[in-house]
């Protein structure tokens, strides 16, 4: 399925009430992730993978300059994309489904988007953010000073233990800021998990996503 240029891959459970997880991806890894979840780990869910995203626009909550030389600036299109997701994509892909709960997940900027979304919509009750871009300028301040539309049931955060080992003034803060989000969520009663994985940002990307989805699919 394609909606406004976004490519949507639907991996459907035989159970119409199975949880539905929305996963924004960069390289279309949804099939491998779904196979691992359902066939190797026996988790039952419907996985909706959305790809062909403009990473710096669709997933950034507001405009901000690039943090690395030769990268593109962030242009703050997350609200627009979230409206597309909730108003058009969800109604079309969930025809005939009655999911027990709905989750939102992603890696890197998609992980940031997943944590940002509950402030604009109550559609998602469980969130998984793997190596999420919590370094995004002023994001954690926004997170702590604003109220979610509805308090989420579960939050999973993970990060590589080498991701903050850099001289970049933004990226060097990512572990501190991710842990700050984790501790804040614990303090307001959200069931939260923080996992520090070995390696940098691009190590074991699929497995880190699988681990996050397994956590939010668990009772």
CATH number for the domain spanning 165: value is 3.40.50.1820
Residue 216 contacts residue 103 (beta carbons within 8 Å):
yes
d(CA 177, CA 174): 5
pLDDT at residue 39 in the model: 87
Contacts of 114 (CB under 8 A, 6+ apart): 24, 104, 105, 106, 124, 127, 128, 129, 132
- Total number of domains in the chain: 1
pLDDT tens digits in sequence order for the chain, 219 residues long? 999 999 999 999 999 999 999 999 998 899 999 999 998 889 999 999 999 999 999 999 999 999 998 899 999 999 999 999 999 999 999 999 999 999 999 999 999 999 999 999 999 999 999 999 999 999 999 999 999 999 999 999 999 999 999 999 999 999 999 999 999 999 999 999 999 999 999 899 999 999 999 999 998
d(CA 133, CA 139): 9
pLDDT at residue 183 in the model: 98
pLDDT at residue 143 in the model: 98
Residue 8 contacts residue 93 (beta carbons within 8 Å):
yes
Per-residue pLDDT reduced to its tens digit, 79-103: 999 999 999 999 999 999 999 999 9
Q: What does residue 56 show for φ and ψ, rounded to 5 degrees?
A: -80, -20
Contacts of 205 (CB under 8 A, 6+ apart): 29, 107, 130, 131
Which tokens hold the place of 163?
């991701």
How big is the CA angle at 112 (ends 109 and 113), to the nearest 5 degrees? 90
Q: Could you tell me the residue range of the domain that residue 160 belongs to?
A: 2-217
pLDDT at residue 162 in the model: 97
Q: Which of 52, 57, 62 is nearest to 72 (CA)?
A: 57
d(CA 172, CA 24): 25
pLDDT at residue 95 in the model: 96
Class of residue 33 by CB neighbours under 10 A (exposed 0-12, middle 13-18, buried 19+): buried
């Amino acid at each position: 399925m394609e909606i406004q240029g976004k490519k949507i891959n639907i991996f459907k459970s035989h159970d119409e009430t199975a949880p539905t997880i929305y996963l924004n991806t960069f390289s279309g890894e949804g099939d491998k992730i779904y196979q691992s979840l359902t066939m190797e780990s026996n988790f039952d869910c419907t996985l909706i993978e959305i790809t062909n995203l403009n990473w710096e626009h669709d997933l950034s909550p507001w405009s901000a300059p690039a943090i690395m030389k030769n990268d593109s600036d962030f242009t703050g299109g997350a609200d627009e994309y979230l409206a597309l997701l909730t108003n058009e994509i969800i109604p079309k892909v969930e025809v005939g489904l009655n999911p027990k709960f709905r989750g939102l997940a992603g890696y890197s900027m998609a992980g940031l988007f997943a944590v940002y979304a509950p402030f604009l919509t109550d559609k998602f009750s469980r969130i998984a953010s793997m190596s999420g871009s919590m370094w995004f300028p002023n994001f954690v301040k926004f997170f702590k000073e604003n109220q979610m539309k509805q308090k989420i049931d579960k939050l999973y955060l993970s990060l590589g233990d080498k991701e903050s080992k850099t001289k970049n003034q933004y990226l060097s803060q990512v572990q501190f800021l991710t842990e700050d989000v984790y501790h804040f969520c614990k303090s307001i009663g959200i069931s939260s998990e923080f996992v520090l994985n070995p390696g940098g940002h691009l190590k074991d990307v699929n497995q880190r996503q699988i681990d996050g989805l397994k956590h939010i699919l668990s009772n």
